[in-house]
Amino acid sequence: MPCPLCTGIGGTLVYQGDKFRVIRADEVGFPAFYRVVWTAHVAEFSDLDDADRSLCMAAVNVVELALREHLQPTKINLAALGNVVPHLHWHVIARFDWDTHFPAPVWAGAARPADMVRQENVRTKLEVAEKAMVRRLTPFGKTGIRLRAPL
């Protein structure tokens, strides 16, 4: 069975480099659910060499910082599970104390009804947050080498 992260983007493309991409996932109830997807098909973070591990975590950090700055979430959740899709990708999820599952993981059962007004308010801020991600990721260059400090 082909890998869905090798054969498809996996969501709305925010940034594409040679070594990784950032996508906004279409996860109902979680408008600020992002993934940093490694381009090469590897299953584990430890499959990367030191430089690529640093690059991958720097990208995760950029996404987290942009979400914190522009959305002011209650918490950021980070996860690299890969049980269903064994292709290295990090989940970077802005969580809010009003979301349907908080404080439980997004994969748990819902604890309350969705607050559509608050979800839409988050959605209205995503474009600005994504522009900040791109601005901060672009210095990594096409090869993934960081050319200058993030803005």
Cα separation values, 7 from 2, 57, 134, Å: 7, 23, 23
Q: For every one of its 151 residues, what pLDDT tens digit does the chain have, with 9 covering 90 and above? A: 799 999 999 999 999 998 999 999 999 999 999 999 999 999 999 999 999 999 999 999 999 999 999 999 999 999 999 889 999 999 999 999 999 999 999 999 999 999 999 999 999 999 999 999 999 998 876 544 444 444 3
Question: How many whole angstroms separate alpha carbon 8 and alpha carbon 14?
Answer: 14
122 neighbors 94 (Cβ within 8 angstroms): yes
pLDDT of residue 141: 65
Q: How far is CA 9 from the centre of its chain?
A: 13
Question: How many whole angstroms separate alpha carbon 34 and alpha carbon 24?
Answer: 4
The CATH architecture of the domain made up of 4-140 is 2-Layer Sandwich (3.30)
66 neighbors 130 (Cβ within 8 angstroms): yes
Question: How many whole angstroms separate alpha carbon 135 and alpha carbon 129?
Answer: 10
Total-model pTM: 0.91
**Domain locations along the chain:** 4-140
22 neighbors 128 (Cβ within 8 angstroms): no
Render 86-110 in DSSP notation, one character per residue.
Answer: -S-EEEEEEE-TTSTTTTS-TTS--
Residue 34: its H or E element: strand 33-38
Among 91, 89, 100, 87, residue whose Cα is nearest residue 67:
91
The radius of gyration of the chain from alpha carbons, rounded to an integer in Å, stands at 15
